[in-house]
Amino acid sequence: MNTTKCLLFTILSIAIFSSCENKKVSQGREAYMRFYKNYLPNPNSLKVKKETYTIGEKNEVKWILDIQTENIYGDTTDIQDSFITTGDRVFKANEMVIYDDGVMNRIY
């Protein structure tokens, strides 16, 4: 009986601690999803196939995403995209675009 309780406690502890996600990562994920919802021609077609991130200093998270989406003709397209998020903002490095609160601003 004690073994069962100990095993159950261990499994619950692992489940609780493994489900905790870094705040920088969750804010960054929300920011890039908001970015894609405003940027893509068909935002409902977005599928994140692979997500890789590295947590940097301060609030920076460096992302590499493999996504699948539909282009303006309705054809499915696979894209690899990389960018940096800081808190709830996206700095899209490969196209030099800053995205903030639903507004895109290009830097020239």
| CA nearest neighbour of 101 among 42, 53, 34 | 34
Q: Where does 33-102 show beta strands of DSSP type E? A: 47-55, 60-70, 76-86, 89-92, 97-100
Say yes or no to pLDDT of 80 above 80: yes
Q: Are strands 47-55 and 60-70 parallel, antiparallel or unpaired?
A: antiparallel
Over its C-alpha atoms, the chain yields an Rg (Å, rounded) of 18
Cα-based distances in Å from 73 to 41, 42, 77: 9, 10, 10
What average pLDDT does range 76-91 have in this prediction? 86
- Give the confidence band of 107 by pLDDT, cuts at 50, 70, 90: very low
Domain boundaries, the chain: 22-106
